[in-house]
A and B are shown apart, each in its own frame.
Chain A
Amino acid sequence: MQAPLIEFRQVSKFYGRGEATIRALDHVDLLISQGEFVSIMGPSGSGKSTCMNVIGGLDVPSSGEYLFQGMPTSGFDRTQLTLLRRHMLGFVFQGFNLLARTSAVENVELPLTYRGMDARERRTRAMAALEQVGLKGRENHTTQELSGGQQQRVAIARAIVTDPAVLLADEPTGNLDTRTSTEIMHLITRLNNERGITVIMVTHEEDIAAYGRRLLRFVDGRLTSDEVGRKEAEIVH
């Protein structure tokens, strides 16, 4: 049997110590399989962002074990975590986080550059990724010349250009209006359906969370609800 893509075994994350200890994650068990679309919800401070950071290798658990494709990550150093991000994960942030004064295509090329890919192949793949997110013809626009929705599309292109196993989206529509949010969510859903990319998305909006096929709710660092199969019909139209 194939190991689950992501597995949490009693994962906890504490900040501070003594009386002031904050339990950002409190003994969480979690399994996520290849190809899922998981939404994570919860009030601020509930641990949803910490959960995301741990999955993304940006943060490490205080106790418990995080396994990626069945491989325990507890012994990983900074370099190994970076390599995990580089080869397996793609990030989309609320604030887009594109490099300023840099063209769309150069932003998308960035993760490939760190892999040491040669310039021509990089350009080809970045162009293909931009086409997939519907930004063909805007490759040379700099970040400032693009609208919020377009910037988020560039960010998604940057996340998928490396063919990651998982797309981690942290409030991807938080800075966008409703219409643009819908467009971005359709794009993410399409990537999940067509390319089989596992999507894990943090949001605090119910209707955005509804795009996911599975919904996790966090309260005070605990995983309190895990529902599957919500509203699937609506998403497919």
Chain B
Amino acid sequence: MFIETAKLAWRAISRNILRSFLTVLGVVIGVAAVIAMVTIGNGTTAQVKTELQRLGTNTLFVRPGQWGPGRASTEAKRFDDKDVEAIRDQVSGLRAVAPINRGTATVVAGGQNHSTSAIGTTNDYLIAQDWDLVSGREFLPAEERGQAACIIGETLRKELFGSADPVGETIRVSNVSCPVVGLLAAKGQSGMGDDQDDTVLMPLKLHQRRIGGTTTISSIILSAHDGVSTSGVQSDVESLLRERRRIGIGREDDFSVNDMSQIASTMTGTTMLLTGLLGAVAAVSLLVGGIGIMNIMLVSVTERTREIGIRLAIGALENQVLMQFLVEAVMLSIFGGVTGILMGLLLAYGVVSVLGVPFVTSPSIIFVAFAFSAAIGMIFGYFPARRAAQLNPIEALRHE
């Protein structure tokens, strides 16, 4: 009996395939939005997790200003050499303290030029970031004091030198001529999607003087020894900096010390806000989709009044007519759901490939989307189906 009902429903749907498709478009869009969103979100989360594992949890980032969504860090006072020395001398358990200044610079070599991220730092940066050299060496002490030298990333090498070894060549970074002394191992994209290999490292002093035109430091990366508590280090650094920056008791810090997991959770928070918004859009779309199904089922019941009358007259029970229309509505919305799931996955796959994050499907959300679309058909199909079942057979048979 159920197979008969399903066949009947399929026949009714396929008889007017375009109308059926337009009817379920709302459900398609809603489900596709949910699936795409969750799949992309999963990919980003997976990427951040991988990054965290690679960097380890013993890395801390020190920046001026409070760091987080919607907060500008530019107004707070920047750090200087003395802050870095103070941290190095007074905080125990650190294996690297790397001051960082970032800037964008055009790099020229042998007729090729390329715009890249120029980072002024010290050898500690390589330790803190676990970054190996595939060729050449670190900065020499003389270079750390300001002599021209640079270490380049894999992307920059490809742009400027192709596959040749760049060590020993000379490049111009902005207007600074400096010999390449090392080549970084390739790292690929970061969790935020930028190319970490598109960079040139320079001694901090050189960067400050020739690129930044400053004596300050914009941020500091700390790396604790294995087994040292980062929260202990974090509070040590915080109290040291509060003292050095003369922040009175009860006043808010004008700097922040975060470890990777805190930064990741901030990022996740932003993602979740976005997910919530898109989820609301999807919910509205599903509601509209459900009403669309109800509407077209009501039209269908009116169109087929005579048919319903015949069925009732020759011995169809109310429940059998109810089931017929309910199954039709559920089948419609399930088609919408399945189409939505496929479209959502396709969309997510596209976005994920562009972002360069992994494609992580979640069977549970696919199941939920499927069940939800079936439920929509059931809820919004019930009213029209009941109307069909309760028709008076005499009047229904007279209907033209």
Contacts and interface: CB of A to CB of B under 8 A. Distances in A.
Interface of A: 53, 56, 58-59, 78-79, 82-83, 85-87, 91, 93, 97-101, 110-111, 113-116, 158-159, 162
Contacts of A53: 394
Interface in B21-56: none
Nearest to B390: A78
B318 interface: yes
Nearest to A158: B314
Among B314, B393, B394, which residue has the most Cβ atoms of chain A within 10 A? B314
For the complex of A and B, the 7 pairs showing the least CB-CB separation, nearest first, are A86-B315, A111-B314, A97-B310, A114-B316, A114-B315, A58-B394, A85-B315
Given A58-B394, A110-B311, A114-B314, 20 more contacts: A58-B313, A58-B393, A79-B317, A82-B315, A82-B318, A83-B317, A85-B313, A87-B315, A93-B397, A97-B306, A97-B313, A98-B310, A99-B307, A100-B307, A110-B314, A111-B314, A114-B316, A114-B320, A158-B314, A162-B315
Nearest to B310: A97
Q: Interface majority SS on B: helix, strand, loop or mixed? A: helix
A176 B4 CA distance: 33
A97 B318 contact: no
B313 A91 contact: yes
Interface in B305-336: 306-307, 309-318, 320
B313 A101 contact: no
Interface residues of B, number: 19
A58 B397 CA distance: 11
A98 B311 CA distance: 10
Interface of B: 1, 4, 15, 306-307, 309-318, 320, 393-394, 397
A86 B318 CA distance: 13
B318 A111 contact: no
Contacts of A99: 307, 310
9 contacts: A53-B394, A58-B393, A58-B394, A83-B317, A86-B315, A97-B306, A98-B310, A111-B315, A114-B314
Contacts of B312: 82
Given A53-B394, A97-B397, A116 B314 contact: no
Nearest to B306: A97
Contacts of A158: 314
B186 to A, nearest CB: 65
Contacts of B311: 110, 114
B314 A101 contact: no
Given A82-B312, A86-B315, A110-B314, A116 B1 contact: yes
B394 A115 contact: no
A29 B317 CA distance: 30
B314 A78 contact: no
Contacts of B313: 56, 58, 85, 91, 97
Contacts of B318: 78-79, 82
Contacts of B15: 101
B98 to A, nearest CB: 77
A82 B317 contact: yes
Contacts of B307: 99-100
A150 B45 CA distance: 68
A93 B306 CA distance: 12
A115 B312 CA distance: 13
Among B1, B15, B313, which residue has the most Cβ atoms of chain A within 10 A? B313
A185 B120 CA distance: 105
Given A58-B394, A93-B397, A97-B397, A114 B310 contact: no
A91 B316 CA distance: 13
A223 B309 CA distance: 28
